[in-house]
Amino acid sequence: MNAPDLKLVVDNTPVEPAAGVSRFHESARAQVAGAATYIDDIPEVRGTLHAAPVCSPVAHGILKGIDPSAALALPGVHAFIGPDDIPGDKMLAAFAHDEQVFAQGTVQFLGQVGGLIVADDVMTARRAARLVKWDIEALEPVLTPQQAHEKQRYVLPPVHVRRGDAVAALQRAPHRLKGEFEVGGQEHFYLEGQIAYVLPLEQNQWWVYSSTQHPGEVQHWVSHALGLSNHAVTVECRRMGGGFGGKETQAGHLAVWAAVAANRLRRPVKLRLDRDDDFMITGKRHPFAYRYTVGFDDTGRLCGLDLDMLANCGYSADLSGPVADRAIFHADNAYFLEDVAVHSFRCKTNAQSHTAYRGFGGPQGVIVIERIMGDIARHLGLDALDVRLRNLYGITERNVTHYQMTVEDNILEPLITQLARTSDYRERAEQIAHWNASSPVIKRGIALTPVKFGISFTATLFNQAGALVHVYTDGSVQVNHGGTEMGQGLNTKVAAIVADELGVPFEKVLSTASDTSKVPNASATAASSGTDLNGRAAQFAARQVRQNLAAFVAGLDGVGAGAVRFENGQVITEKQTRSWESVVGAAYANRIQLWSDGFYRTPKIHYDKVTMLGRPFYYFAYGAAVTEVAIDTLTGESRVLKVDILHDVGRSINPAIDIGQIEGGFVQGMGWLTTEQLVWNGKGYLQTHAPSTYKIPATGDVPAHFKVELWPEANREDNVHGSKAVGEPPFMLGISVFEALRDAVAQAGGKPEAMNAPATAEEVLRALG
């Protein structure tokens, strides 16, 4: 080994660690300046054509034909692309193999894509698509999960999970309540709509720009439709303008459609849905309907529960199986269920195929048990918080879920009691009762609800990740991983993890675009596991590079490799302190490997897909929220007045980003349960398909008092940096808004047990009776 001339370092000024501190999102400045590139900003290759979908005007019927002649007569139109243009399988490569690329034989929902019009420009394509004529013999559509359940129309077989004897426990219970209610779906409403841009390359290879949370699946779907091997298709995604689950599978549809058109015409094709088409074509959060019987004692402790969950899946399975499974897993939320039977029905309706959405079925499970807790409290004349505390999981007893997973990291009781104390919950509840007694029109309500959310993909095989770390001769570092950036700060966190592993400043590390030619077979960025999986894989890759460098420097100084420290942009032994850059340059000169891959698989997880028993989650993330609301009993209008949140993110990698995720998740959950109403008419037409009729929360809906604090304890499992996932769990804190509204309705003398979600003004008035 040569002994190169390495520069000694005299500047020992401490450098702030990259992880564990608040810092800007890595793209924040570019986004604010309008310089961050999204797919529609990519300069178009010469010869690019634009596609628009041809959508069914009928929700259910026999498809006799499609006539594009009027569209093809429009100047600038190149072709109609239909089923006959698909060189590979005419069914999408979805796991259930139940979705056609383009509609054939039968139309399943209003908005189903039967083909594309391809033209010189996007507006010509869209105008022409609306000229295409459909010949459909209409059939009666099934539009509600109750109708589907009655007809036993399911996209997947029903699932039943039981523990103990719910029937006998209910018979013995001192008190029993029965209830039915519905929770609506939710439009993803990402700022950047669905888009794909497909470019033909040499030798029947393809480059696909896709706004997707799962580039590997898009690669598989496109190659399947084109009849090619996966290696012929490369999918790239630098960033999305939001995803929320809506781009986990359904981004694949656009990529396939555009690829089929590009293959037929041998030219690049871009397909970008406008907002109306996005609403009409893509799936939403699954609407659910519930029926339950619950038994409990005089203190409010549960004795037994029999619960039916009817998931409105739309016309195909998509991700409905794992979504409905997670709803089962989260039907307990924070509470021990001793004798319980949960019956899950995955109902097939003539609607868009509903899909992943932040929480992935968890919110639909959590809300039913939180509603039950509130109803029990009112039935017994108790404070709902006391009923919740009475039913919490224990530490050494009453600590096994209904799917036989032991809750080993339980912090529910101390977290909830701390929030109740710091938010003055009990004092405020008393004050609200006094205030309501003297307020004839405006009534207030308050609720504290917790969340216990399991972290891992319920499909165990997806709990794996890979990453590449490259160190260049000037000391700069590049990291590439299989995750995707959709604004949640994944690349920022991964860069911080790599920087700390190598002991270099954060600014030295660049995260690059997700690319299937770099990290193959990557899982979707979903299930809140993006940092857990990809961050750990990147850490392992960086660690291997560091170990290579440590061995090199140890040889120079005659010390053990374990005695070499990497910190503050320096490489330190007991004999010398050297700059990072000089060590890297010398290592290259001595032919030391300066790049590595990393791979991670989540440990400990396992469960039986048939019995639904086992340990599907690596750990749980916890949190709680106190929300105070007011309702106008004359109009049904409601307003959120105060929010206090205490949330568990473990040892935060970036507190600013984590708090932003908590705030955003809460507001999105609030929107789901208050203003975001999806309305289909009797013909299956989605009437709320634009911002004029579908209302997401605005800045004016966020209360001035919005306080978020982080629980101070690190993850008890060996997770990267001691952190916990943060993307989905805070969404369910928004359930506190719904429960506070039901409390206000109750204090106004109404019927909170009759209230469905979302709690629009009309729904609040209906519950007030």
Active-site amino acid positions: 728
**C-alpha radius of gyration, the chain, whole number:** 27
Q: Nearest 10 degrees: CA dihedral of 637, 641, 646, 647? A: 40
Instruction: State the amino acid at position 212 in one-letter form.
Output: T
Backbone angles phi, psi at 78, to 5 degrees: -100, -40
Q: Which two tokens stand for residue 10?
A: 């005299």
Looking at this protein, which amino acid is placed at residue 664? G
H/E/C letters for each residue in 181-217?
EEECCCCCCCCCCCEEEEEECHHHCEEEEECCCCHHH
Strand pairing partners for 686?
680
Listing from the earlier edge strand, what are the strands of the sheet with 133-138?
Answer: 106-107, 61-67, 133-138
Instruction: Say if CB 50 and CB 271 are below 8 A apart.
Output: yes
Total residue count of the chain as it appears in this document:
769
Which amino acid belongs to residue 683?
K
- Cα 396–chain centre separation: 32
Integer Cα distance of 81 and 89 in angstroms: 15
CA dihedral 479, 482, 488, 490 (to 10 degrees): -30
Q: What distance in Å separates the CA atoms of residue 521 and residue 464, rounded to the nearest whole number?
A: 9
| Three-state secondary-structure class, residue 480 | strand
CA-to-CA distance for 542 and 57, rounded, in angstroms? 53
| Residue 217 · residue 252 · CB < 8 Å | yes
Q: For residues 61 and 684, what is the distance between their CA atoms, to the nearest angstrom?
A: 12
**Do 356 and 248 touch, CB atoms closer than 8 A?**
yes
d(CA 498, CA 479): 8
